[in-house]
Amino acid sequence: MVTRGVTHWSSRLLAAELGVSNFTVARVWREYNLKPWQIQTFKFSTDPELDAKIHDVVGLYLHPPERAVLLCVDEKSQIQALDGTQPNLPLRPGSPERRTHDYVRHGTTTLFAALEVATGKVTDRCFDRHRHTEFLAFCKQVARAYPRRELRLVLDNYATHNHPKVRAWLQQHPRIHLHFTPTSASWMNLVEVFFGILTRQAIRRGSFASVAELVAAIRRFVDAWNARCQPFAWSKGPEQVVAKARRTAKPSTARAKP
């Protein structure tokens, strides 16, 4: 048996290489709690302002400003309008839902969303692209949705969020303040939790014959979400998050209140 170049070892393959039984290999893995079939990814943040940004954002989550609205803003780009080449076969007793392996791409859309942390309400808009032009248009929409209120926006470090035209507009609207998460730490933005729920419940298993149909489905989901939304709660202090960010694990720090 040729094992040179193998990067994923099964118990049988390793047993053959070592000249022992696969039961022996499985027993050793079990005794030492080794699970070579599992893998996790990690990414270090190299942001020189890591600690300061974590304390800033987590401080807002744990102690929201009393006279300001705290919003988590981001874009979910390149959402694909995928449609199966044949209609899905519905779930039946003893048989799962069935769908064709191949599909047709009808285009993409980018969803911009602003999650109000205190209520869970989402302000949204879909665009064909996600340049600074679209981001600025969405910021103006958010400003109209919360007139005469101080706004605190939590964002990631995407270049469009710090474009000169965006900065110029912010100077003209001093009631709006931006707070940036550290680089490689998009999980600190609570709107990502909403994006995950949207993907699981409205997009991943959907079939969309056009981008317009996809956008309409997103719109319906957001309307239903806003009718039943709940506040979001952040569960860890800044020092805990800093410790996590300096290690390899990605912390689960946010949840929607039941």
Domain annotation for the chain: domains and CATH numbers: 9-39 (no CATH), 50-256 (3.30.420.10)
Average pLDDT of the residues in 48-72: 91
d(CA 188, CA 176): 20
Residue 172 and residue 138 in contact, taking contact as beta carbons nearer than 8 Å: no
Give pLDDT tens digits for 128-155: 989 999 999 999 999 999 999 999 999 9
Average pLDDT of the residues in 177-192: 90
Q: How does DSSP classify residue 249?
A: -
d(CA 10, CA 219): 46
User: How high is the pLDDT of residue 205?
Assistant: 84
Pairing of strands 150-155, 176-180: parallel
User: How high is the pLDDT of residue 46?
Assistant: 79
Average pLDDT of the residues in 40-54: 81
Number of Cα atoms under 13 Å in the Cβ half of residue 218: 29
d(CA 169, CA 140): 9
